Amino acid sequence: MSAAKYIDHDFENELIPTKRRWSVDKEVENVDLIEDSEIDAIEENLEITILREKFSSSLSSLEQLRPPEGLATGIDVFDDFLLWGGLPKGDLTLLNGKSDAEATSLATSIWMNTAQKIHAENKAVAWINSDSELLTSDLVQKKFNLKKLSTVKRPKEDQKEAQNIFEVLQELISSSLFELVGCHLPETLLKNQQLQKLKKLARIHQVALVIISPAKQWANHPLFSLVIDCARDFFTVKRALHRPTPFFIQGSVIHANFRNQFTSSARSFVC
């Protein structure tokens, strides 16, 4: 008798390739059977889950991957280059205008341009007047919303001047009323620990603090996340988050935005 006669017909059928079919346990709802492709998907999801648990401490949320918030200056060449899209919120910016009135005026104009953008959103800004003042007549001419602009007199010059300026800045930031706070300081009146505290408060209350100063000592200060050197011929971004610096911008590009803003008076900034 040939060997073929001993092969059961059903056994022959068993040798025919068929798709794997698996019974699914009770945890998978409304499904009785699952095919190869679905098994692969489950195994892949399981592997991802295991990896996620293993590296959870190193993973970043989508919120953390988004660029940090900023306030647009309205000057495209700055806003396009900076990761914040403008002046950083919750951080310190130094506009390092040289001691001459024109350069300081240009630095202040950047702040004022930013303030105008904020006013357009019906939000408030604050400025501390010092040797350089924002004049009401200029603000009215430029159609600033004076109800959304708070100007504070610089404290009297005495031995406690630095402490007084620090306290005023601290109060303005902590009030949570302002998106942007600006101050012109001809000298480095603030100490390191005071700058550190202001930076911390700015981060807590998500306020952009901008200091305009010709002081060379601050040009490389690590507490300022954004440092821009303002001069007539070149504007130089000396420090900016995740951006190659120094970054030079032709003065003519900036001057086009501030054509009518120059003044011979150190006390008058036309915005």
- Cα dist from 115 to 72, 92, 181, whole Å: 9, 16, 9
Q: Which two tokens stand for residue 254?
A: 């900036």
My answer on whether 116 and 212 are in the same domain is yes
Instruction: Count the neighbouring beta carbons within 10 Å of the beta carbon of residue 57.
Output: 5
Q: Which two tokens stand for residue 121?
A: 């959103």
Q: Domain with 208 in it: what CATH number? A: 3.40.50.300
User: Is the Cα torsion angle 213, 215, 216, 220 positive or negative in sign?
Assistant: negative
Q: Is pLDDT above 50 for 246? A: yes
Q: Is pLDDT above 90 for 95? A: yes
The total number of structural domains in the chain stands at 2
How confident is the model over 185-231, as pLDDT tens digits? 877 778 889 999 999 999 999 999 999 988 888 888 899 999 999 88
My answer on whether 232 and 104 are in the same domain is yes
My answer on whether 98 and 175 are in the same domain is yes
How confident is the model over 7-59, as pLDDT tens digits? 444 544 454 454 444 444 445 554 555 566 676 777 778 887 887 777 777 66
The reported pLDDT for the residue numbered 270 is: 34
Q: Is pLDDT above 80 for 92? A: yes
Beta bridge partners of 230: 235
My answer on whether 53 and 71 are in the same domain is no
pTM summary value: 0.70
